[in-house]
Amino acid sequence: MTKPIRVRYAPSPTGHLHIGNARTALINYLFARSQNGKFIIRIEDTDIARNIPGGEESQLKYLKWLGIDWDESIDKGGAYGPYRQTERLEIYTKLTEDLLEKGLAYKCYCTEEELEKEREEQKARGEMPAYSGKCRHLTLSDQQKLEKEGRKPSIRIKVPKNKIYSFLDIVKGKVSFESNGINDFVIVKKNGIPTYNYAVVIDDHLMEISHVLRGDDHISNTPKQLVVYEAFGWEPPAFGHMTLITNGRKKLSKRDETIIQFIEQYEELGYLPEAIFNFIVLLGWSPGGEEEIFTKEQLIKIFDAKRLAKSPAVFDTNKLKWINNQYMKKIDLDRLVELSLPHLIQAGRLPKELTDEQRNWTCELIALHQEKMSYGAEIVELTELFFKEDLEFDEDAKEVLSGENVLEVIKSFKIEIEKLASFTADDIQAAIKAVQKETGQKGKNLFMPIRVAVTGQIHGPDLPKTISLLGKGTTLSRLEALLKKGSILQ
């Protein structure tokens, strides 16, 4: 009988949700949903010194923001709890006692200073530093003597010698390790807290996890975990180790400031969660074909773990912006404003409290740039020309303004603008038509001088709408200022 599909994402509350961890969560989520399985979130909080306030809440908050839901966790309960490791200490303790009684684990009384001295001596002899196992054969009398000295033991598991540990990795194929490269490792620290490679095995087994899909950096942990599975006589789950995410040259490091790496930062910048979901899934997984834009429902339907890549995934910031732009172009105006408006306020472009007139103008301004926006915060740069007192002209703009008949076009446009009683985009379109009739200029010889004169840019969104939003006063003052600078006009 096939085991039910049960997978887990097990974050530590030592930091906020990172791109790499989000990828692990998303792949596990898609695998579970595509197989009608269960997706579990377990909090691995035994590294107490590194846990940060709010870390747990932040992880769950941004998983939800991405659009991930789960079947069992600290906030939902379930038949396999508790789902927080620090609430499972009694479980670990009982199982550790079983291993000690069977002689499969032992107490180690070595101090950190003694272990460090041992490592240094091994290095001096040209040997690979490894625990010698000197506490492996202590008698009960030896242990009692050391405890009278005030020593507290850690617990180490006995690693069998001359054994090959193999497993069939979903991504990598067959992987093997020699047990002689693994020394007797600590499974319970001196403070009674289990180590990662010990607790994770117990939790995965008792929670009946069928598949463990995780990052490639965990593959070195797998042989140690197989040692623990073997000691208990338990069947390991299927393992799949996803390739690392790189910046194009090396493994993505949290210290790499060229790439934004935490999910909350993308929310703050005004990215769309469904676009981030789409982008992250494609980091090391291929749907096949040329299509790259998918809804969550589509990804669940087509997901196949066999398509997890064997080569490192490159984090391409430009591709992320492109994907997000595809989504931005399709959202409704209310959502677009919600993503963009806070950035205009934060930049000091708008007051915190808007009048109805200001809000209507801002909505039109944001809508004007929807096609070009890659994320919400980009609205500040895109709309800069609407908040400038004076225009500056770069070399390309100056070249346009120095063209033949430009002065005639600008003078004619100013006259037509001055005539306008209202200032809608349609009114401005009619004024430009009148300039065309008056000057005989058309195409780029008509539109480019007007655009540069009013906006300072050679490219931009719909020109009549842009000028309408600038307003009649600003438009005329810019035209007048340019005409006074006759030196750049022929």
Active-site residue list: 254
Of 98, 110, 161, 103, whose CA–CA distance to 135 is shortest? 110
Rounded to whole angstroms, the Cα distance separating 219 from 239 reads 9
Residues 6+ apart with CB under 8 A from 375: 266, 269, 270, 271, 321, 324, 328, 339
Rounded to whole angstroms, the Cα distance separating 66 from 87 reads 28
- Bridge partners of 308? 285
Rounded to whole angstroms, the Cα distance separating 115 from 186 reads 12
Q: Which two tokens stand for residue 415?
A: 């006259």
Q: Which two tokens stand for residue 469?
A: 């939003």
Q: Which two tokens stand for residue 284?
A: 């090391």
Rounded to whole angstroms, the Cα distance separating 343 from 337 reads 10
Cis peptide bond prior to 287, omega within 30° of 0: no
Strand 211-215 and strand 186-188: the pairing is unpaired
Q: Which two tokens stand for residue 440?
A: 């005989």
Rounded to whole angstroms, the Cα distance separating 33 from 328 reads 26
Residues 6+ apart with CB under 8 A from 73: 40, 41, 42, 43, 60, 83
Q: Which two tokens stand for residue 36?
A: 């009608």
Rounded to whole angstroms, the Cα distance separating 161 from 21 reads 34
Q: What letters, b where the CB count within 10 A reaches 16 and e where it falls short, cover 242-258?
A: bbbbbbeeeebeeeeee
Rounded to whole angstroms, the Cα distance separating 406 from 402 reads 7
Rounded to whole angstroms, the Cα distance separating 22 from 39 reads 14
CA gyration radius, the chain = 32
Q: 38 in helix, strand or coil?
A: strand
- Bridge partners of 186? 156
Q: Which two tokens stand for residue 300?
A: 């669940």
Measure the CA angle with vertex 190, ends 186 and 195; round to 5°.
40
Rounded to whole angstroms, the Cα distance separating 313 from 241 reads 13
Q: Which two tokens stand for residue 286?
A: 């291929």
